[in-house]
Structure 1
Amino acid sequence: MSRHSSGKKEIKKTKKFSSGARTPKPTVFILGFLLIVVGIFGVLYNPANSIGNSSNPIEKTLPWKLSEAGILSFSPREEPVFAAQEIEDPYSPEDPDILKLISFESGDQNVQALLRIPANVPSVPGIVLLPGAGVSKEGEQGLAVELSKMGYATLTLDQRNKGAINVDRDLELFRAGLEPVEYLMVYDALKATDVLSAQSEIDHERLAILGESNGGRFAIIACALEPSLKGVIGISTSGYSTEETDPASVADSEAYRFYLSIDPDTYLSALPPSRLVMMHSFNDTVISHELALKTFALAEEPKAMYNATEETHGYTASMRPYLEKELAQILS
C-alpha cells in the first residue's frame, strides 16, 4: 500500500470520530494517547529545526557556536568516556614511567592518545601535548619523556589528519552547516583535558597544554576556551594575522568570520589569567620568527617569549631550561 493511500485511509477515520457518534471509553483513551505521541513526535522532528529550514542552521544544529567576532564556543561537555590500558614503553624503556594507551570519545570518533606518568610521583601535574602536523603521538614521545623527567604527566594525542589542515575544505564544510575539521581538533584538545583530569594519578587543579607548530595553534585556542588550564606553551607556532585585514574591505564576511575563528590571534585576549609562553627559533625553517613576534605582541600579560638560534622547526634542547622554568611557574 502506498503512503498516499494510507493517508487517505487515515482521513476517513478522522471523519468517523467527528460524526457525533458515541465513542467507547477505551477508544477515547487510546486516541488521546496517540495524539500525545504524535505531538511529541512533531516537536522532535519539526522540519523547522532541520538544517535546510533554519534561518541560522550552523548555530542551531551543531555543538558549537560562532560569535560575530569569530569566537568559537562549544556546548557544555559531558563526562569523559575513555578506556585505558597499560602498555610496555618502547620509547624510553630505561625509565620507570607508566605508559598507558588511552582511547576516548570526542565528537564523531574515538581519539587515540598516550598517557605518560612519572613513576612514584603522587598527584602529578598534567599536560595535554599536541604534536605538530604530520607527527603522531608516538613521534612526540621524545618531548613527553623530557616532560616526565621534569615531573609532569602528559596526554599526547593523535590529532585528526595528524595535525594537518585544509582551510579551503574546512570553509566549504562551514558554509554547508557541517563541522570543520579544525573545530573538531580544538574539541579533541578540550576533551583530552577532561580525560587527563579524570585520571586518579593527576592533580586536576594543575593542568596545562603544550603544542608544537600547528599543535600550538590549537593549544592556544583550547586554553582560551578552557579555564581549568593554567597556561599554554606554544613551540614554533604563531597566529595568521587575520586581524590585520580591514573588515570593511572584505567581500565575503562569512569567510572572514571563519578565518578569524581558526586564528589563535583571535583568542589571545581571552587567555588571561592563564599564562602564554612562546618559544621560537630565529632561524625557524617553517614558521617565521616575525609571525611569532606578531602573535606575542598581541597577547596580554601574563606572557613570556624565549628565542633559540638553531636552524630548525620545533622543540630543541636549548629550549629545555626555559621550558622547565615556565612549567614550574605555571603549575606551581
Structure 2
Amino acid sequence: MLFSGRVLLSKNGSGKKVIGKTKRSSSGARTFKPAIFLLGFLMIVVGVFGVLYNPSNSTYGNLPWELSEAGILSFSERGEPVFTLQEIKDFYSPESPDILKLVSFESGGDKVEALLRIPADTSSPSPGIILLPGAGVSKEGEQGLASELSRMGYASLTFDQRNQGAINIERDLELFKVGLDPVEYLMIYDVLKAADVLSAQPEIDPERLAVLGESNGGRFAIIACALEPSLKGAIGISTSGDGTEELDPSQIADSEAYRLYCSIDPETYLSALPPSKLVMIHSFNDTVISHEQALRTFALAEEPKAMYNTTDETHGYTASMQPYLEKELSLLFK
C-alpha cells in the first residue's frame, strides 16, 4: 500500500500547510481525504534532530547515493550481484510445472530473500519481470500473480520488501538529515539489485527485463525503471505519484524535507523514463487510490505510455486486468 501521511511545514499562517491526508486501516489499506494541492497524500515532516546537514552529492551509510538540488536520486556502480539459489517445492501453485527457486541476494549490506519463478515450458531464455507487492504483502503472497505471469511465458523475481513495503517517512527524514540511508532509498536500491540478479540467471534473457508493482510497489517500480535504463518498462497497478511538483518550494520552511520527498515521488522521475514505457492499470472504483490520482500521474508522464481502466471495487490486481497486462507485456518484449 502507499506510505503513511505527510505534512510540509510552510512559512505562512500557523506554520503548517496540510497538503493531503491518508489513514491506514487495520488491514493495511488507507482511506483518502481530499486536499487542495494533492488528491490524497498528507506529508508529515518531523525535524526531530534539527540538524542542518546537506547530503547532496555525497556517499553515506551503506549505499552509494547522491541527491541533486532538485531532489533527483542516483546511485553509482552497483558491482556484480552476489546471491545464492536453491530450488524448492512449489507450495503456492502445486499444479504448475514451473521451476521455483529461493534466492538470497545482497543489497545495501543486507540479505534480501526472493522467489524466482521460471516457466517450465520454454526452450529459450524467458523475459524476466521484477514483481513488487504492495505494502503488507509478502513474496509468497504475490505468487498468484507470479503464476499468472508464468502462464504468459514470463519469469518473475519477487522479493520481500523491507518492512513488507511499509513506510515511516518521519524516520526516513531523520536518517536523511544526518546523512544515513533512508529506508525508501534502500527499497529502491533493492529493486536495482534484483534486476542485476535476474539478468544473471541463465534461464532469463537479460535484454528483456521489466518491473511490475502493485500499489506502493508501483511507486518503486517507476523510480527504479527511471534509474536503470536496461529495463524495458514499468507497469504500475493501482498506484500513483505524490504530487510534490505542485508545491511551491519558496513556501516550504524545511527545504531538506522537500528534497527528500521529491526524491521518493515517482512523478519526479517521469521525464527520465523514456525510452522505457510506463503502463498504468487502475480501477475507476479503486478503494484506496482514486482514479483521479492515477490519471494525474499518467498525464505528467511522457511517451511511450499507456493506461487501462477497470471497474472493480477493490485495490490491486484483478482478473479483469489480465488482458491489458498480457497485451502490454507482449509489446514490451516484442
1:198 to 178, 197, 200: 200
Distance, in Å, in 2 between the alignment partners of 1:135 and 1:55 is: 35
Letter aligned with residue 330 of structure 1: L
Deviation at 1:56, TM superposition (A): 5.0
Distance, in Å, in 2 between the alignment partners of 1:272 and 1:57 is: 28
Structure 2 partner of 1:149: 151
Deviation at 1:95, TM superposition (A): 1.1
Distance, in Å, in 2 between the alignment partners of 1:182 and 1:67 is: 17
Letter aligned with residue 265 of structure 1: E
Matched residue SS, 2:58: helix
Structure 2 partner of 1:9: none
CA offsets 1:99-153 (integer angstroms, 9 cap, x no match):
0000000002100000000003121000000000000000000000000000000
Q: Is 1:73–2:71 an aligned residue pair?
A: no
Residues 54, 177 of structure 2: 8 Å contact kept: no
Structure 2 partner of 1:108: 109
Q: Is 1:61–2:59 an aligned residue pair?
A: yes
Matched residue SS, 1:182: helix
Deviation at 1:58, TM superposition (A): 5.9
Distance, in Å, in 2 between the alignment partners of 1:271 and 1:301 is: 9
State how 1:1-332 maps to structure 2 within 5 Å: 56=54, 59-62=57-60, 63-121=64-122, 122-332=124-334
Deviation at 1:55, TM superposition (A): 7.9
Deviation at 1:60, TM superposition (A): 2.9
Residues 58, 177 of structure 1: 8 Å contact kept: no
Residues 56, 68 of structure 2: 8 Å contact kept: no
Residues 102, 112 of structure 1: 8 Å contact kept: yes
Residues 53, 178 of structure 2: 8 Å contact kept: no
CA offsets 1:300-326 (integer angstroms, 9 cap, x no match):
000000011011000000000000000
Q: Which runs of 4+ in 1 moved over 6 A?
A: none
Residues 135, 217 of structure 2: 8 Å contact kept: yes
Distance, in Å, in 1 between the alignment partners of 2:251 and 2:56 is: 25
Structure 1 residues not aligned, in runs of 5+: 1-53
Q: Higher helix proportion, which one?
A: 1
CA offsets 1:1-57 (integer angstroms, 9 cap, x no match):
xxxxxxxxxxxxxxxxxxxxxxxxxxxxxxxxxxxxxxxxxxxxxxxxxxxxx9855
Q: Which has the larger radius of gyration?
A: 1
Distance, in Å, in 2 between the alignment partners of 1:283 and 1:55 is: 43
CA offsets 1:272-321 (integer angstroms, 9 cap, x no match):
00000000111111111111011000000000000110110000000000
Matched residue SS, 1:307: strand
Structure 2 residues not aligned, in runs of 5+: 1-51
Matched residue SS, 1:294: helix
Distance, in Å, in 2 between the alignment partners of 1:303 and 1:61 is: 34
Q: What's the TM-score once normalised by structure 1's chain length?
A: 0.83
Residues 130, 210 of structure 1: 8 Å contact kept: yes
